[in-house]
Amino acid sequence: MKFRCERDVLLDALSTAGRAVGGRAGNIALSGLHLELKGDQLRVTGSDLDLTISQELTVGGHTDGVVVIPSKLIADIVRALGAGAVDVVVDGDEVQITAGRSEFSMRTIPADDFPRLGTPSATEVTLNSADLTEALKQVVKAASSDDSRPILTGVLLAPEGEGLRLV
């Protein structure tokens, strides 16, 4: 796998997907980010099995591939780089990150250990972020903060007609 991307764009995707990464001791792959390159589309996915965040970005793709990289380490490295293009090259079980005169190398996590996540088959809804924020502000007050009944601590998002109903 080999691609080139702007530092800030890559860091944003790593940080966003990294929010879902947990520290489960049972599966070391869940401490990493799953990167999949197809053509010029890079999908960065983080998961703790309860929450999955996936972000797609356009990069300069050279060689397709899949890799799982330790989440905190990759984010810290990319954050430390200067602005500009970042080259990422995966060779076997090692990844090299290069930007300007900086070069970092680290081991990868076996990609087969990362859980296979299905794609949702439900209805897709697109909302304005301001509208969703306002709707959440109205219903989140009714969500319980008592963890003894976890089902009541969330907000139900249900598709309804051309929109979304929050309960």
pLDDT of residue 123: 62
Q: How is the chain split into domains, by residue range?
A: 2-113, 129-166
- Amino acid, single-letter form, for residue 65: G
pLDDT of residue 25: 57
Overall pTM > 0.85: no
Query: Mean pLDDT for each consecutive 10-residue tract of the chain (167 residues)?
Result: 96 94 75 95 91 92 95 94 94 94 94 79 73 89 81 81 81
pLDDT of residue 27: 78
Helix, strand, coil in percent for the chain, rounding step 5: 30, 40, 35
Distance from C-alpha of 14 to C-alpha of 127, rounded to nearest angstrom: 24
pLDDT of residue 165: 85
| Side-chain-facing half-sphere of 51: CA atoms under 13 Å | 10
pLDDT of residue 93: 92
pLDDT of residue 23: 66
The fold for domain 2-113 equals DNA Polymerase III; Chain A, domain 2 (3.10.150)
pLDDT of residue 120: 63
pLDDT of residue 32: 93
